[in-house]
Amino acid sequence: MENGNGCRAGQAVELRVKQLGEATLVPPAEETHRGLYFLSNLDQNIAVPVRTIYGFRSGPGDKQNFGEVIKNALSRVLVHYYPLAGRLTISPQGKLIVDCTGEGAVFVEAEANCRVEDIGDNTKPDPVTLGKLVYDIPGAKNILEIPPLVAQVTRFKCGGFVLGLCMNHCMFDGIGAMEFVNSWGETARGLPIKVPPFLDRSILKARHPPKIEFPHHEFAEIDDISNTSHLYDKEEMRYRSFCFDPDMLLRLKASAMEDGTLSKCTTFEALSGFVWKARTQALRMKPEQKTKLLFAVDGRSRFQPPLPAGYFGNGIVLTNSLTSAGELEEKPLSFAVNLVQEAVNMVSDAYMRSAVDYFEVSRARPSLTATLLITTWSRLSFHTTDFGWGDPIVSGPVALPEKEVILFLSHGNERKSINVLLGLPASAMDTFEHLMPHHF
């Protein structure tokens, strides 16, 4: 959880939230296009609800109703982002598609028993506490029963408020979500939208006939010969946040390059290689256990031609590295970092179009057995969202989507530190903590 202060944080108070009135629907302020809206194959693979929160202080003498301002702005911004006012359904081809019904986004108001600052001390995803700030559709059994956009505004004792959002990842990736929320904020402040959405996703349609030109190991099923699933089943899950400040990140990069194998590496490559290696050790994988690293690369500028500005959809492509746990653990850090570099460099226009076509043929989902999936939010400026009350004093995810996922978030006032958020079985978390940089 991002709270804009130092890297360590205290204990949050017990949060109690009471819903005010019924959930309502907010349709677009004007009539919009109706009918079916195409989702690309890059959207199909990550159709999971993503829950985030943004907390704001009230201004001096502020008598405005946050809920009304945000609700009215939502109605106006949905004119531009009208698929978010529709509903997910399945196309005759068996794929996700949006039925642009114009029904609207779900909107709820609530009140809490404490100050916004009291939840800002929470530096780890906490689905139980923070989940109270995001509305859950009662009785929803699958994503088709959850509208693409659900918003909850919770007022706090201090006069501040939290906007809690549940948005389906198939509607956009982090960059697209950030552009939408920032457009919503601009609309609330009476400003024109800086980056209007580009809505036509058919530019990422599969080719006919499909052309699969690369091996797509991101979908490879791995045998769990180390029985790590047993560890998850029998032990309590622990969630921790590790802050890597600029000095630590420089030391990590130096450590990755000290044997001369690499001439350069990015912060992301060094940190990803280090975390993959440490997590593999912590889970006590057998040396011959295959292990996979997955992460998303932003393909917007890598497509030929590049995706248009404001592309509304997923412009990210999963790339991967595959090796054995033994090699990862025994070889120097440069080995893991080099694998990450190769995975980044693999992502070209041809690779991404091959991935789109691979899904067209296989309908495969990425397998997460013996896999680490790194999600990077450190380059996303969610912390600059302004609805008229300045930047958020707290922003971030409510929970990690899967046990295999590790999240990188930028941290601190200058965004130079990176918070690494993860969950592991208790014994593995103890080992992971000992492998952190303050121990070397």
DSSP 145: G
The tokens describing 258, both together, are 């000290």
Residue among 99, 121, 224, 386 flagged as catalytic? 386
80 catalytic residue (yes or no) = no
Residue type, 212: I
Beta bridge partners of 29: none
Nearest CA to 329 among 391, 280, 257? 280
Asked whether the beta carbons of 3 and 51 are under 8 A apart, the reply is no
169 catalytic residue (yes or no) = yes
Can you tell me the distance from the alpha carbon of 296 to that of 124, in angstroms, rounded to the nearest whole number?
A: 22
Can you tell me the distance from the alpha carbon of 335 to that of 30, in angstroms, rounded to the nearest whole number?
A: 56
Residue among 80, 118, 169, 173 flagged as catalytic? 169
Can you tell me the distance from the alpha carbon of 367 to that of 321, in angstroms, rounded to the nearest whole number?
A: 13
Sheet holding 105-112, edge to edge: 17-26, 105-112, 149-155, 161-168, 49-56, 394-397
Q: Is 212 left (phi over 0), alpha (psi -120 to 50) or beta?
A: beta
Q: What torsion, rounded to 10 degrees, do the Cα atoms 301, 292, 377, 203 define?
A: 30
Q: What is the DSSP string of 75-103?
A: HHHTTTSGGGGSEEEE-TTS-EEEEE---
Enumerate the active-site residues.
169, 386
